[in-house]
């Protein structure tokens, strides 16, 4: 029988032994006549019978270990070439419900593994992050930082000022950026993966667990649910009857309020509160728990609140909201805090009290997919649900709601759904960033959590007044805090309150993931006059008084 050449590019090989194993796996594929796998070239040259589909070879490579492959060159299919098996039934290997970051990561992983995938999205392509979350909020936060920096100058001899001329134009520019990134990072990406299709429609499980799309039966070998999350609101008396902003509304509004009340002091609420404050509005922030950004270390909570109050924000923590009422332009919020009662008035109200999984309309009980008390889909470490044929990933599972977590779990879910539960999700060293100014970035355990774990803990907390970069920039707000196991000298947690804290955290993420000790951090060379040098100095301060060290002291 006539043979034809196919060439693959292979990722994941670490030695010649990997190449040998992949070659053996390829030779087991029926119709493969010869193969030459090169570790240095990261490639495979294969002679196959014309009936062998490239996707079968890609799967063989993937099944040989933690490898992935893509076709570099292959003959065009002739008229006698049979289509892939799934094409006969019109069903993809993996059907993905949802069209955000978890869904796209899953579809791309499926394609890399030689499988077909179909994304079914009821709303706007791209999900939360690009449309109403990370992208629009961070660009608006940067606008506010520019205004604030121009109007508060710490340097002698210069005068700066900024004023808001056309807020609607700023919002339109933000909307344009969102549209550009949605096109570039989602719609255009699909063009690079012919085995991935996209359908606009509403998926739901009908009686007996049958999947439907817009009411019509649909089928696939495996299913993945990645429908994300939506803003959630607590049962505050009067809130359900009172029209108000969610974070999406706040970012869409082209008019700034005179006074904004924000209910919720987590990352979303506090980022938007400071952004609108710096645009010129008066802002009052209310948080039911004892501190803002309540998931962060106690020192971070206190330090951030102090910085925001210095900016002019009113912050009330430990608040009980007795009632909410009013309408746009005239709100009343009755609170109890510190043993006193007060009624606040404002012309705008933002509720940012967290998000909950989008599962209510999926018909999950029909498919025997279990959810927890908050409606999130329950999954195991392989992202498999209570129904072994259905996987779930991203915000819909109640995992930490970060786009990088969604992408990671989406890829894990796709691989396991297609090839069995061979990989586990791994959130060790997961960083968290809150884009305030000063910013917040953290990884691992807080000091309180570390002490509760039973470890013998030592702590270094270095104020930015000891970091040359911060001194030169005349902005020493914040600190670097390292939580360390006293016996192993391993880093248990890192907590940073600093301008651009998110740009500093990655070094400590790698330290936690790869077992790098605090002494290794202290010995490593860090470029002088960078904020990252604060990590080295904080590590050094566990054994030295850094105020007595010269610049660049080892």
Q: Given a cut of 60, is residue 36 above it in pLDDT? A: yes
Choose the CATH number for 85-232+354-427 among 3.50.50.60, 3.30.310.50, 2.60.120.10, 1.10.10.10.
Answer: 3.50.50.60
Of the pLDDT bands very low, low, confident and very high (cuts 50, 70, 90), residue 71 is confident
Among 50-59, 231-240, 440-449, where is mean pLDDT lowest? 50-59
Rounded mean pLDDT, 343-354: 98
Mean pLDDT for the chain?
A: 92
Residues ≥6 apart with Cβ < 8 Å to 452: none
Distance CA 30, CA 152 (A): 71
The residues pairing with 165 across neighbouring beta strands, listed in sequence order, are none
According to DSSP, residue 421 is labeled S
Q: Given a cut of 80, is residue 553 above it in pLDDT? A: no
Of the pLDDT bands very low, low, confident and very high (cuts 50, 70, 90), residue 82 is very low
Q: Given a cut of 70, is residue 452 above it in pLDDT? A: yes
15, 104, 289 from 116: Cα distances, Å: 30, 13, 47
Rounded mean pLDDT, 101-106: 98
Closest CA to 108 of 27, 12, 191: 191
The pLDDT tens digits of the residues spanning 52-62 come to 888 888 888 88
Q: Given a cut of 70, is residue 416 above it in pLDDT? A: yes
Rounded mean pLDDT, 331-354: 96
CB 206 within 8 A of CB 363: yes
pLDDT reported for residue 74: 67
Q: Where are the domains of the chain?
A: 3-76, 85-232+354-427, 247-353, 431-548
Distance CA 437, CA 530 (A): 17
Residues ≥6 apart with Cβ < 8 Å to 30: 52
Distance CA 113, CA 371 (A): 29
Of the pLDDT bands very low, low, confident and very high (cuts 50, 70, 90), residue 552 is low
pLDDT reported for residue 505: 98
Closest CA to 8 of 73, 84, 76: 73
CB 75 within 8 A of CB 84: no
Rounded mean pLDDT, 145-152: 91
Of the pLDDT bands very low, low, confident and very high (cuts 50, 70, 90), residue 85 is very low
pLDDT reported for residue 231: 96
pLDDT reported for residue 32: 85
CB 471 within 8 A of CB 433: no
The pLDDT tens digits of the residues spanning 160-189 come to 889 899 999 999 999 999 999 999 999 999
CATH superfamily of 431-548: FAD/NAD-linked reductase, C-terminal dimerisation domain (3.30.390.30)
Q: Is 390 left (phi over 0), alpha (psi -120 to 50) or beta?
A: beta
3-class SS of residue 59: helix
343 or 39: which leads in pLDDT: 343
CATH topology of domain 3-76: Alpha-Beta Plaits (3.30.70)
| pLDDT more than 70, % of the chain | 96
Domains 85-232+354-427 and 247-353 share a fold: yes
Neighbours of 66 (CB within 10 A): 13
Provide the angle, in degrees to the nearest 10, between the axes of the packed helices 267-278 and 298-311.
20
Q: Given a cut of 70, is residue 278 above it in pLDDT? A: yes
Count H helices and E strands in the chain, helices first. 17, 26
Rounded mean pLDDT, 297-321: 97
The residues pairing with 3 across neighbouring beta strands, listed in sequence order, are 49
In what helix (H) or strand (E) does residue 494 lie, and over which residues does it extend? Answer: strand 491-498
Distance CA 113, CA 186 (A): 19
Rounded mean pLDDT, 216-241: 95
Closest CA to 536 of 494, 502, 497, 487: 494
The residues pairing with 231 across neighbouring beta strands, listed in sequence order, are 355
Distance CA 290, CA 299 (A): 12
Distance CA 75, CA 265 (A): 58
pLDDT reported for residue 75: 62
Active site residues: 13, 15, 18, 67, 129, 134, 551-552
Concatenated DSSP letters of 436-491: SSSEEEEEE--HHHHHHTT--EEEEEEEGGG-HHHHHTT----EEEEEEETTT-BE
CB 345 within 8 A of CB 334: no
Enter the CATH code of domain 247-353. Answer: 3.50.50.60
Of the pLDDT bands very low, low, confident and very high (cuts 50, 70, 90), residue 72 is confident
pLDDT reported for residue 359: 97
Of the pLDDT bands very low, low, confident and very high (cuts 50, 70, 90), residue 498 is very high
pLDDT reported for residue 77: 47
3-class SS of residue 238: coil
Peptide bond just before 200 cis, omega within 30 deg:
no
């Amino acid at each position: 029988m006539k043979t034809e050449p196919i060439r693959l590019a292979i990722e994941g090989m670490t030695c010649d032994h990997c190449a040998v194993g992949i070659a053996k796996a390829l030779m087991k594929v029926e119709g493969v006549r010869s193969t030459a796998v090169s570790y240095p070239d990261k490639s495979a040259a294969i002679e196959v019978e014309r009936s062998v589909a490239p996707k079968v070879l890609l799967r063989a490579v993937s099944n040989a270990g933690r490898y992935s492959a893509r076709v570099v060159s292959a003959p065009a299919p002739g008229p006698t070439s049979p289509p892939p098996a799934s094409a006969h039934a019109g069903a993809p290997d993996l059907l993905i419900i949802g069209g955000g970051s978890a869904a796209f990561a899953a579809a791309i992983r499926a394609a890399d593994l030689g499988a077909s995938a179909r994304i079914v999205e009821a709303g706007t392509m791209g999900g939360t992050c690009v449309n109403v979350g990370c992208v629009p909020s961070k660009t608006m936060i940067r606008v506010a930082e520019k205004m604030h920096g121009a109007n508060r100058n710490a340097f002698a001899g210069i005068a700066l000022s900024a004023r808001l001329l056309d807020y609607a134009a700023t919002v339109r520019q933000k909307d344009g950026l969102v549209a550009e990134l949605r096109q570039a990072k989602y719609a255009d990406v699909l063009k690079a993966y012919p085995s991935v299709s996209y359908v606009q429609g509403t998926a739901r499980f009908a009686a007996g667990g049958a999947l439907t799309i817009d009411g019509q039966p649909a089928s696939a070998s495996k299913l993945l649910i990645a429908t994300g999350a939506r803003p959630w609101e607590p049962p505050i008396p009067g809130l359900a009857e009172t029209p108000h902003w969610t974070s999406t509304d706040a970012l869409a509004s082209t008019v700034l309020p005179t006074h904004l009340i924000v209910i919720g002091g987590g990352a979303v609420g506090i980022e938007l509160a400071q952004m609108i404050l710096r645009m010129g509005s008066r802002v009052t922030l209310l948080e039911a728990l004892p501190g803002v950004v309540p998931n962060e270390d106690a020192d971070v909570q206190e330090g951030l609140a102090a910085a925001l109050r210095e900016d002019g924000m009113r912050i009330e923590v430990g608040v009980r909201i007795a009632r909410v009422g009013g309408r746009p332009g005239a709100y009343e919020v009755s609170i109890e805090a510190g043993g006193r009662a007060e009624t606040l008035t404002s012309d705008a109200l933002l509720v940012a009290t967290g998000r909950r999984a989008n599962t209510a309309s999926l018909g999950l009980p029909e498919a025997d997919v279990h959810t927890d008390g908050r409606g999130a889909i329950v999954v195991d470490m392989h992202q498999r649900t209570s129904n072994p044929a259905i996987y779930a990933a991203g915000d819909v599972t109640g995992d930490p709601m970060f786009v990088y977590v969604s992408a990671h779990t989406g890829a894990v879910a796709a691989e396991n759904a297609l090839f069995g539960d061979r990989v586990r999700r791994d959130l060790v060293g997961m960083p968290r960033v809150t884009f305030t100014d000063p910013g917040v970035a953290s990884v691992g355990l807080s000091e309180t959590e570390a002490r509760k774990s039973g470890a013998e803990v030592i702590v270094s907390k270095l104020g930015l007044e000891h970091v040359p970069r911060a001194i030169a920039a005349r902005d020493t707000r914040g600190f670097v805090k390292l939580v360390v196991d006293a016996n192993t000298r391993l880093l248990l947690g890192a907590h940073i309150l600093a301008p651009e804290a998110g740009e500093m955290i990655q070094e400590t993420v790698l330290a936690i993931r790869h077992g790098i000790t605090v002494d290794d951090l202290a010995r490593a060379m860090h470029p002088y006059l960078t904020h990252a040098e604060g990590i080295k100095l904080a590590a050094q301060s566990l054994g030295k008084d850094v105020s007595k060290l010269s610049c660049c002291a080892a």
